[in-house]
Amino acid sequence: MAKESTTIDVGEPSTVTKSSSHVVKDAKKKGFVAVASRGGAKRGLAIFDFLLRLAAIAVTIGAASVMYTAEETLPFFTQFLQFQAGYDDLPAFQYFVIAVAVVASYLVLSLPFSIVSIVRPHAVAPRLILLICDTLVVTLNTSAAAAAASITYLAHNGNQSTNWLPICQQFGDFCQNVSTAVVADSIAILFFIVLIIISAIALKRH
- Amino acid 146 reads A
Q: Assess 136 for contact with a copy of itself (CB under 8 A).
A: yes
Q: For the beta carbon of residue 73, count every other beta carbon within 10 angstroms.
A: 13
Query: Could you say which residues in the range 60-79 bind a copy of itself, by CB under 8 A?
Result: none
Please give the C-alpha separations between residue 119 and each of 42, 44, 114, 195, in angstroms, as whole numbers: 10, 11, 9, 18
Binding residue (CB under 8 A) for a copy of itself from 47, 55, 58, 92: 92
Q: Assess 48 for contact with a copy of itself (CB under 8 A).
A: no
| Residue with Cβ nearer a copy of itself (112 or 205) | 205
Tell me phi and psi for residue 122, to 5 degrees: -95, -5
Give me the DSSP letters along 43-100.
Answer: HHHHHHHHHHHHHHHHHHHHHHHHHHH-EEEEEEE-SS-EEEEEGGGSHHHHHHHHHH
CB of 89 to a copy of itself, least distance (A): 4
Q: How far apart are CA 119 and CA 150, in angstroms?
A: 42
Q: What mask, x for binding a copy of itself by CB under 8 A, covers residues 3 to 42?
A: -------------x--xxx--x--xx--xx--x-------
Candidates 47-55, 63-71, 83-91, 111-119; binding stretch for a copy of itself (CB under 8 A): 83-91
Candidates 2-10, 50-58, 100-108, 125-133; binding stretch for a copy of itself (CB under 8 A): 125-133
Q: For the beta carbon of residue 131, count every other beta carbon within 10 angstroms.
A: 17
The site for a copy of itself (CB under 8 A) is made up of 16, 19-21, 24, 27-28, 31-32, 35, 85, 89-92, 124, 127-128, 131-132, 135-136, 138-139, 142-151, 153-155, 157, 159, 161-165, 167, 189, 193, 196-197, 199-201, 203-204, 206
